[in-house]
Amino acid sequence: MDWHQLWTIISLPDNIPIVGLMFLIPFYTWYAFRQAFANDRLIDQLDADPEMAKTHHRKTQPYQKGWAREVHVWPYLLRIEFLSAIIVTAILMVWSITLDAPLEEPANPTLTMNPSKAPWYFLGLQEMLVYFDPWIAGVLMPTLIIIGLIAIPYIDTNPLGNGYYTYKQRRFAIWTFLFGFVILWCVMVVIGTLIRGPGWMWFWPGQTWDHNKLIFEVNRDLHEILGITDPILYGIFGFLVVGGFFLITAFGIHKLMTLTEFNRKILARMTLLQYLTMQVLLITMIGLPAKMAARLLFRIKYVWVTPWFNV
């Protein structure tokens, strides 16, 4: 194991945010779950004891007489935000003084860096280019991310969990967020930073980044593996495979959401447009790791090949 190689990668000034992300995301995820479980236990106590419910919020801190029932933005929130801004500014000043971020040599069109990587916050998109057409990874997927974030308030009909952490009342929303943010974004950024080396080849942490390494791997389209040669037939076949994936995944998501009575009530309140929008966004999210598994495990390049686009 070449630990010097690993240290060289993680000690680069540009990669320090990624190292911090690998520790901060798990810590704050654990902390949020800890607070949510504590609030869930309190909610169960309040449901069982009506008298206790009269003097407590749905938070672990009990309500005391004399407390303001409304907390105004000024001065309470703005005072905290102002102090936070000062602290963050001080941290960034110390960071910029102690860590060098030197400019590289002027760009040379005859000599491309290997590996040539985007800034760390775009590495997730660059990793997606391995598995999808450029217009899908660079245009369609980011567009769906933005549309999905905009659509969340109009899709999520669960009124509970506003103003307090809860797990029981927000299971589906919590796991959807964790899957989309941690798995589909943070993990992709870590892969692009620590695992993708020269030639955008896969190097496990500790492996030497050998610029002369050769990998004898053949990536083939699904119709080539099955021996389908007619363009019309493999176009129809790819459409059926992708359509089948959408139908099977939609059925699985629906079954998963109807496991509890609480989720069934939430589904009953959704309109058809809300339900279909949610399904399309969730299936697209699941499609990314499914396509990654097909490429990394079975060397399948594309499932659906057409003259206009490939999936």
In the numeric block, which tokens belong to residue 108? 């040379």
Mean pLDDT of the chain: 85
- Exposure string of 129-157, with b = 16+ CB inside 10 Å and e = fewer, is ebbbeeebbbeebeebbeebeebeeebbe
Share of the chain above pLDDT 70, in %: 94
309 in a domain, yes or no?
Answer: no
Q: Tell me if 28 is assigned to some domain.
A: yes
134-170, pLDDT tens digit by residue?
888 888 888 888 888 888 888 887 878 777 788 988 8
Residue 9 inside a domain? The answer is yes
Domain containing residue 116: 3-298
Identify whether 303 is part of a domain: no
Q: Could you give the number of structural domains in the chain?
A: 1
Condensed to tens digits (0 to 9), the pLDDT of residues 257-299 reads 888 887 888 888 888 999 999 999 999 999 999 999 999 888 8
Indicate whether 15 belongs to any domain.
Answer: yes
In sequence order, the 6+-apart residues with CB closer than 8 A to the CB of 42 are 56, 58, 59, 60
Residue with the bigger pLDDT between 77 and 82: it is 82
pLDDT of residue 113: 82
Of these ranges, 182-186, 242-246, 258-262, 263-267, the one predicted with the greatest mean pLDDT is 242-246
Residue 310 lies inside a defined structural domain of this protein: no
* Amino acid 73: pLDDT: 78
In a domain, 304, yes or no: no
Distance CA 62, CA 268 (A): 34
Residue 234 CA to residue 220 CA, distance in Å, equals 13
Give CA–CA dist 36/60, Å, rounded: 10
User: What pLDDT is recorded for position 245?
Assistant: 94
Does 111 fall in a domain? yes
Encode pLDDT of 5-39 as tens digits.
788 888 888 888 888 889 999 999 999 999 999 88
**pTM: predicted TM-score of the whole model, two decimal places:** 0.81
Q: What is the pLDDT of residue 82?
A: 94
Cβ neighbours of residue 103 closer than 8 Å, sequence gap 6 or more: none
